[in-house]
Structure 1
Amino acid sequence: MGERADILGVLIDKVQLSQIESIIANFVSRAEPHQVVTVNLDFISRALRDPSFRDLINTSSLVVPDGIPVLWAAKLLGDPLPQRITGLDLLHACCRLAQGTPEGIFLLGAEPGVALRASRALCGWYPELPIAGTYSPPFGEFSVEENSLIVDLIVSSGAQYLFVAFGCPKQDFWIREHLVELGVPVCVGIGGVFNYVTGRVKRAPRCVQNLGLEWLVRMMQQPRLAKRYLINDLPVLTRVISHKLLSAHGVNNAGQQSAGQLFTRSGGLRRMTPRE
């Protein structure tokens, strides 16, 4: 992958939506497992509180900005990203690549029956789409037996694309923990995207999305998200603005280097490769 933007130590690939299919096709052709992460403000908020989550993001094969506020943050910091790329964008890109091939897609997670309904909706849009399987495990921490069952289902399905809807950060840590044994070329944590596919949750109009206010529509549809958006996520933008103001006034020393710069220079953290 090429250049990455650095938002408070969280590294995000500077890629265009038009490049996504070729990047994913390359992952599949290499037949090696890759983790893809879709970063919104909640991911950055969690990464600031949890270094292990930040490291997971920074060592993933592909990291895309899933939210206009993430683009705002990158631009404010003078390290702009080309455009927003959502989990739904990634799902459709994989469906286009998989259609008419034996390269199956596995949908994992969400509430009981949602993954199955999502697979049927996708097949309505992509009639020749090979669905390798669907499974909605129980909520909560998985037992050793449940984890083994999930891994066995995916491996035996021969899936080339895996979309995991456990929510952040559970889905992303689960993918990382099992990435090598799964051996799936494209593994994506996708959050609530299955609900959009099935129509259980309506997306905001395009004009609202472009204004960066889709979070407000989601909060109105799902009030439980209010705490996440208002208490956890908004302070990220405040921190970005503070960082920008301090930089503009020349406040800079070795202790204020970006985490991304420190990792690169120390050699202590680099992007994971599937064989490591």
Structure 2
Amino acid sequence: MPEGQANHNDTSNQQTPVVPIFGVPFSRMNMDETVHYLTESIQQRRVTQVITANPIMIMMALESPDYYRVMEQAELIVPDGAGVVWAAGYVGMPVKERVAGFDLLHRLMQVGEEKRWRVYLLGTSQEIIEETASRLQQKYPLVQIAGYHNGFFGEAEDEEVIAKVKEAGPDLLFVARAANNQEPWIYKHKEALGVPVVMGVGGSFDIISGRLKRAPLIFQKLRLEWLYRLIQEPRRYKRMLALPKFVVKVVREKENVTKRWPTP
């Protein structure tokens, strides 16, 4: 992909400026522009997969051709991780700001209040999804929580889950599943789902439900949310090892970071 060109996906009439990081096309839009873009996607009923990506996901993509293809073909990838924001600036193609998935979810819910959108929640445990649905409904009473379903289902149940989502007819679908299958699952089924905006939200439901706390503002400003998350969930340390590897790779390959990257 040429540097800084519009989104590669031809299904959208809109064009978004991007910076490719090892071939993964990150949006350079700020939060307000992103919300506007996705609002139009919903109004035009234009199927849009939103990936809120970080360096760990980039490294996963470079190691897995299938995962790479999912990210390469997504309609919109926003720079969720602070490492992505740093990398874009380091190679001279800065993004306007970090677009955190947790904040984007809430911004879309705010617009949903005005537009009376229908929202479906998919993922995590039954207890967490129920509490998340309850808290979001309390906070955004004019948004209709059209339904929810836990994330503990396999391929054999995919058709049943998709049918439930379609029957609910949501404008927005937030999906919180394991990192290795969240985006691939959305990519595989987004056309069948027929929901205008389908967004992977990672651990957002854990925070909304109260199971985990979001990093304090000082951690966010210092771009250390990953550290706070690691303190809360030490078992994530193996995944976090990808962060220093990403930094080293960007520094060593600075001249090639934004060039077209061959599919692994």
- TM-score normalised by length of structure 1: 0.85
Identity of matched residues, %: 31
Pick one of 25, 31, 34 that aligns with 1:17.
31
Root-mean-square deviation (Å): 1.8
Q: 1:171 aligns with which of 153, 165, 182?
A: 182
* Corresponding position of 1:121: 135
Deviations 1:16-71 (A, max 9, x none): 11112211111011113110000111111101111322222122111100121211
Q: Which of 143, 152, 170 is the aligned partner of 2:155?
A: 143
- Residues 138-163 of structure 1: CA distance to partner in whole angstroms, max 9, x if unpaired? 26xx132x111110110000111000
Q: C-alpha distance in 2, partners of 1:262/1:70?
A: 16
Residues 1:89 and 2:73 aligned together:
no
Segments of 5+ residues of structure 1 without an aligned counterpart are 248-256, 269-276
User: Are the aligned partners of 2:18 and 2:25 in contact in 1 as well (CA < 8 Å)?
Assistant: yes
1:106 matches 2:120: yes
CA gap 1:235/1:176 in 2 versus in 1, 3 angstroms:
same
SS at 1:132's partner residue?
A: strand
The equivalent of 2:191 in structure 1 is 180
Match for residue 76 of structure 1 among 80, 83, 90: 90
Distance 1:203 1:163 in 2: 18
- The normalised TM-score by structure 2 is 0.89
Note if 1:46 corresponds to 2:60: yes
Who is 1:241 aligned against?
A: 251
Report how far residue 262 of structure 1 moved. Answer: 5.6
SS of structure 1 residue aligned to 2:253? helix
What residue number does 1:253 align with? Answer: none
Q: Distance in 2 between matches of 1:258 and 1:236?
A: 11
Specify the structure having the higher radius of gyration (Cα): 1
Matched residue, 1:209:
220
- Cα distance in 1 for residues equivalent to 2:167 and 2:133: 18
- Contact residue 100 and residue 130 of structure 1 kept, 8 A: no
- Counterpart-to-counterpart distance in 2, 1:77 and 1:7: 9
Instruction: Determine the structure 1 residue equivalent to 2:4.
Output: none
Return the alpha-carbon distance in structure 2 between the equivalents of residues 236 and 119 of structure 1.
35
In 2, Cα distance between the equivalents of 1:188 and 1:74? 22
Q: What's the CA shift string for 1:217-265, capped at 9, x where partnerless? A: 1111001111111x22220111011113xx4xxxxxxxxx5575367xx
On the 8 A contact 1:38/1:65 being kept in 2, the answer is yes
CA contact under 8 A between 2:124 and 2:152: conserved in structure 1?
A: no
CA–CA distance in structure 2, aligned partners of residues 235 and 167 of structure 1: 22
What SS does the aligned partner of 1:202 have?
Answer: coil
User: Relative to 1, partners in 2 of residues 1:260 and 1:164: Cα closer, same or farther, differing over 3 Å?
Assistant: farther
Q: Deviations 1:92-125 (Å, cap 9, x if unpaired)?
A: 1221122254521000001122112111111222
Q: Which runs of 4+ in 1 moved over 6 A?
A: none
Alpha-carbon separation, structure 2, partners of 1:78 and 1:37: 23
Flag structure 2 segments of 5+ consecutive residues without an equivalent: 1-14
What is the rounded CA distance, in whole Å, between the counterparts of 2:116 and 2:46 in structure 1? 17
Contact 1:219 1:226 in 2 (8 A): yes
